[in-house]
Structure 1
Amino acid sequence: MSKRNLFLCFDAFGTLFRPAEPVAKQYADVARQFGLRVNDAQVTASFREAFKREAKVHPNYGKATGVQVIHNTLRPLVGPDQAIPDGLAPRLQHRFASDEGYTCVPQLPSLLQALKEPHPKKGFDKVVVGVITNSDDRVPDILASFGVRVSPLRYGTPIDRAKLAGAVYDIDLHCMSYDVGYEKPDKRVFSAAEELLREVTTQDATSSADVGASSWDKIYLGDDYDKDVLGALDSGWYALFLEGHEQPPRPMPLLVDQKGGSVSEAFIQHRALSVDSVQTAIDWLLGQR
């Protein structure tokens, strides 16, 4: 029996990485470095209001917001005659576009690389790894700052095929709501990822797999039940719910308790399963025949 193909996509924020400290606290720390007299509680309250206002004006996460959240957070906290220091916003922008502001899954690059390397137990012919996120265009840079080899293949961006041909990446594609124009759980975000998967398989001269064929197991792993689990299921994917961020509306079977000989057999009864970590999910996938 021929091996199957795996299309594994991750949520980004909260799944692959998360703030090293609360975002508002980091705002306050940097503001104090620039001489502003603010405390954490003040900045937290102002940040929540600024973020809520921007999300309402620009519901597609991050689109067209620029530095508005930063300015709208700090503006009410400085005196009427005091300007926000010129370098403060760029400093925060840099911080939240790199590993300076975040911490990632332990040993993330090596975990992702294990999915691509030959493995005696790995039951997949081809593995494509992607990111599907309700976030903005900082995600590829954040992941790259942790040492992850990130492909330039991104939905809505012209493709430089010379950079794809023969190259090996830990993450093969990025599909961000910032580019798609729709947010999870909208199935159009998952469809956009499938479009990119077609591009990846087109670049691979050794692969003739049809991305719509039943030979592909499509799995999405995220920490938000409504956006990640329900979005994946509605799009015809399998779903893995990352425990810890929130509780699902009902108890979910654990991935590690599924003893099927293949991914499709393991998910045959429950198309959505729970997992305690990204490493557990990858270890389990590597053990399937």
Structure 2
Amino acid sequence: MKRNLLLCVDAFGTLFRPRSPIAEQYGTVARGMGVKISDDEVAKSFKSAFKETSKAYPNYGKKTDMGARQWWTEVITKTFTPHHSGPLPATLTSTLINRFWCKDGYTLFPDVSYLQQLSHTPQRQKDAKQRLVIGVITNSDDRVPDVLSSLGLKVHGLRYNNSQETMIETSEKEEKDQAQQAQDIDFCIMSYDVGVEKPEPEIFNAAISTLESMLVSEGNSYEKEDWGLLYVGDEVAKDAKGAVQAGWDAVLLDRGAEVDAAYEGDAPGVEGVMVVEGKKVPVLKGFEALGTYGGHELLKIQ
């Protein structure tokens, strides 16, 4: 077993979910502003708008310097314009964008409290002899850190592609706060920053590069042989398969999506095991079981 562990987790569908179906939230807000549209119409129109905008402006607009906020403005406009005569309500776009940039649109899964408990354990300290670092790897634009913070998680501002100087500056700026309040998430890796999505190995490699830079900013160094790599998500193809192909271990959480093929487990919190790319991947009921069946002693909460 490796001495240290980098634990990375998926965001949407693993850490948080919509408070209610997105089409329902879009529809409720729009109807409140006078747009006559059903939730089913929103769902179909949104799907088409998302696909069209993604094709025209890849990676949430990053490749064309559009930016995520303007990108979502395009999606929202294309979603509602076919169902509304005349100009859309002036505040519709900003209201929906702001709603899904914070806790108004999302809620944490209850078992995420396990990660918050981990943040106070000795292995999460910078000077720990056996170190546990926790990051997020997600296919998303740059909203994720703000959403997680709004939901009550303590998220460090470190992101992939920051310069060494920026990382050090951010770390020093937050030093006093970190001394008083442990971080739940050490860094966020988003496809928006990396330029590729899971299951591509580059996005997992970006997490390792960010870990290296983080350790350097602390005055330490990254030694590959000392670090285990574990990814936790809720999707087989993007999360488990992507992680295994990148050389990581993987764990799936059953969020009611893609784990029906798992056979029944015989231990508390374990639903079974899936073989992904020739590697056994545990399927757990929630984060709490990770401390026992996550494959590393640093995941235990004493």
TM norm structure 1? 0.83
The answer for the alignment partner of 1:278 in structure 2 is 287
**Which 10-residue stretch deviates more, 128-137 or 63-72?**
63-72
1:162 aligns with 2:166: no
Cα deviation 1:49-103 (Å, max 9, x = unaligned): 2122223334435644241110010000101xx1101111000000000000011
Match of 1:184 among 198, 205, 208: 198
Secondary structure of 1:103's aligned partner: strand
Cα deviation 1:131-172 (Å, max 9, x = unaligned): 000111000000000111111110123424133144342111
- Contact 2:201-2:245 within 8 A present in 1 as well: yes
Q: CA 1:274/1:18 → structure 2, altered by over 3 Å: closer, same or farther?
A: same
Which segments of 5 or more consecutive residues in structure 1 lack a partner in the other structure? 260-268
1:117 aligns with 2:120: yes
Alignment of 1:62-77 (within 5 A): 63=62, 64=66, 65-77=71-83
Alignment of 1:61-210 (within 5 A): 61=60, 63=62, 64=66, 65-79=71-85, 82-106=86-110, 108=112, 110-118=113-121, 125-158=130-163, 159-165=166-172, 166=175, 167=178, 168-205=182-219, 207-210=220-223
- The 1-side partners of 2:188 and 2:100 are apart by 18
The answer for the alignment partner of 2:9 in structure 1 is 10
Counterpart of 1:153 in structure 2: which amino acid?
Answer: L
- The 2-side partners of 1:38 and 1:240 are apart by 40
- The 2-side partners of 1:3 and 1:32 are apart by 55
The answer for the alignment partner of 1:54 in structure 2 is 53
**Residue 40 of structure 1, CA deviation:** 1.6
1:287 aligns with 2:300: yes
Cα deviation 1:88-131 (Å, max 9, x = unaligned): 100000000000001112263x42232232369xx981111100
Counterpart of 2:235 in structure 1: which amino acid?
Answer: D
- Contact 1:19-1:102 within 8 A present in 2 as well: yes
Counterpart of 2:140 in structure 1: which amino acid?
Answer: S
Secondary structure of 1:194's aligned partner: helix
Counterpart of 1:189 in structure 2: which amino acid?
Answer: I
Q: CA 1:227/1:59 → structure 2, altered by over 3 Å: closer, same or farther?
A: farther
Greater fraction of residues in helix: 2
Match of 2:250 among 236, 239, 256: 239
Secondary structure of 1:125's aligned partner: coil
Cα deviation 1:198-251 (Å, max 9, x = unaligned): 12222334x5551x22x2121101111111001100111000112134234843
Secondary structure of 1:48's aligned partner: helix
Q: CA 1:3/1:181 → structure 2, altered by over 3 Å: closer, same or farther?
A: closer
RMSD: 2.9
Secondary structure of 2:14's aligned partner: coil
- The 1-side partners of 2:135 and 2:87 are apart by 42
1:218 aligns with 2:232: no
Q: CA 1:255/1:129 → structure 2, altered by over 3 Å: closer, same or farther?
A: farther
The answer for the alignment partner of 2:274 in structure 1 is none
Q: CA 1:254/1:116 → structure 2, altered by over 3 Å: closer, same or farther?
A: farther
Secondary structure of 2:110's aligned partner: coil
**Count of aligned pairs between the two proteins:** 271
TM norm structure 2? 0.80
The answer for the alignment partner of 1:22 in structure 2 is 21
Which segments of 5 or more consecutive residues in structure 2 lack a partner in the other structure? 271-277
- Contact 2:76-2:93 within 8 A present in 1 as well: yes
Secondary structure of 1:218's aligned partner: strand
Runs ≥4 residues deviating over 6 A: none
**Which 10-residue stretch deviates more, 175-184 or 158-167?**
158-167
